[in-house]
Structure 1
Amino acid sequence: MRIIVTKSYDAMSMTAAKIIAGQIYLKPNSTLGLATGSTPLLMYKKLIDIHKSIGLDFSAVTSFNLDEYIGISPENPESYHYFMYNNFFKYINIMPKNIYIPDGMAADINKECHDYDQLIKNNGGIDLQVLGIGKNAHIGFNEPDIKFETTTHKVKLDDETIEANSRFFADAKQVPRYAISMGIKTIMFAKKIILLANGKNKAEAVFKAVTGKISPAAPASILQLHQDVIVIVDKEAGAMLPHVEN
């Protein structure tokens, strides 16, 4: 595990964008695992800038998103479909047929989860997976539990996660209680993983992920077992980490 502590959120975002750009230059038909939320937002803007300024080509790239709320349509401004298209996809030349996001409106959620994993497998797996981290050390929507959920699955969101996500909704009661999420096994099969975190409210979660006991009580801690993980944080999120690279 490589740990990079940057001076700012902007620097964190640019560092991550450069790694993703390098991945695409080296393998134009890369498969990317993508995350939503406020943490990767500036990273996506940096990638858009790189695409527009020097022609970073996404035309052969395939993307799989980590998760999606259950019960929210893709047209809903709070859906992760909407987030990805309006903050990233519509500004680059990725092919719509190569974009995959779980369908939270599927009639059979269990089948949707199974089929999503099969699509990832059929595509040859994920080359580079981007992750954020929750204050409770969740990754994707894999909440603290007594076991690691392996494959893509339906998950009941913790109260802490619902509270954290309520800032994106007009009313906390509007936050969905369930979501579809890639499981830990699905994530861990990615060839390379980037974990992003910024802000002092993420410092404890980052500490648990990087130096804590490997336990489903802190889902991100499983990343310690992956062979190629880069943790990129700003100085506030990395405040509790010893012996870091600046």
Structure 2
Amino acid sequence: MGTKTVNKLAVPGATLHYEVTGSGPVLLLIAGGGTDAGIFDGIVGRLAADYTVVAYDPRGNSRSPYDGGAADERVDQSAEDALALLDAVGGDEPAYVFGSSSGAITGLELITRHPDRVRLLIAHEPPCVEVLPNPADHRAFFEQVYDTYRTDGVEAADVLFSRGIGTDEDEPPKPEDLYPEILEMFLRFQSNAANFYKHKLLPFTRYQPDLDALKAAAARIVPAAGVESIEHLPARPIHQIAETLGWPVVTFPGAHGGYASHPEPFATLLARVLETD
């Protein structure tokens, strides 16, 4: 896999933790929700043989603290964070980008704002429900999750959220069955949950992509979804976006987090997709 280097990057309002592994063209991995760079550990080794793989904790998550108090996030700010990382690692060269969930929304905004900096974007299940035919219903669901967090706390919000996005049937691993580093990662994710519900959930799910700008960059965007989650809510928007782009949705192993649950086949397919550039 090569040596992983751990770095910090100051951006307006936060300090980003990022990790670089391998050599070759830059491949930026953008985590979603309350996860962080560690969610991609299972696929980095396969990809680092051919790419300089950059994974990071999005602002407010884990080891990327806000400067001062937390505030509701902005998708444009998240895209500028991604750009700052590309500048720091690869200069002004266009980079490959893989984003999942809200990380895919960041990727869509990045290629919209800076199309010359993205060589190829794989957008895996961006939950931008505003593109769906009935956005009000889905908007109401996410608002209900937010309200549940405010009134009943993280655990109640987790139950409602996982049920609504189709992950409630996933059996969580028992803590005693996890390697210490994996347990540490899951504990980080748990500690991020409150900030996710409070400051990230609504700003990202209310994101309205610029479909005309995406269509102009269609040759460099790969719509993607998990084969086990393709009919669930987070994957539905990518079908609408794919129709606009004129491309089919590429199905990856596993569900919404297939890169973590099925790392080897996921990384193999991702490498193949990247090679199509």
Fold match (TM-score > 0.5): no
- Higher-helix-fraction structure: 2
Which interval holds the TM-score relative to the shorter structure? Answer: 0.3 to 0.5
Question: What TM-score, normalized by structure 1, do the two folds share?
Answer: 0.40
